[in-house]
């Protein structure tokens, strides 16, 4: 039996056993816009990260920046507000550096 036939048989058996019935996103159309909008040399890496529930550093930084802004809105402690502002500035600077680096790669 050839390798291709062996693989086909395994897939058919898995389908018959219902192993593909409850896959995440089953029955939903694939959105490939995000994949093709990514820089060509970074697509596969981002795809691997996404499929393993990791996010790129710049996305994580944006999330953290948003959280810091929300905390600043409700913060009454001057000392804590100063720390939050410094942390926000540092994260924003790091994000801008990453984005500039990505822009230069294009």
**Which residues in the chain come in under a pLDDT of 50?**
none
Cα distances from 11 to residues 3, 8, 20, 69, 70, in angstroms, run 12, 5, 9, 49, 49
Q: How far apart are CA 98 and CA 92, in angstroms?
A: 10
The predicted pLDDT at position 106 comes to 61
* 62-67: long-range pairs with CB below 8 Å, 24+: 62/95, 64/91, 65/91, 65/92, 65/95
Calculate ∠ Cα 18-22-24, nearest 5°: 145
């Amino acid at each position: 039996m050839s390798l291709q036939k062996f693989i086909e048989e395994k897939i058919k058996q898995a389908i018959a056993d219902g192993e593909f019935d409850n896959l995440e996103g089953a029955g939903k159309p694939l959105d490939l816009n995000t994949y093709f909008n990514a820089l060509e040399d970074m697509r596969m890496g981002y795809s691997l990260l996404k499929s393993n529930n990791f996010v790129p550093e710049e996305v994580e930084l944006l999330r953290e920046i948003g959280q810091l802004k929300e905390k600043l809105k409700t913060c009454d402690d001057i000392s804590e507000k100063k720390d939050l502002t410094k942390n926000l500035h540092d994260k924003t600077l790091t994000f801008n550096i990453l984005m500039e680096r990505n822009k230069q790669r294009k």
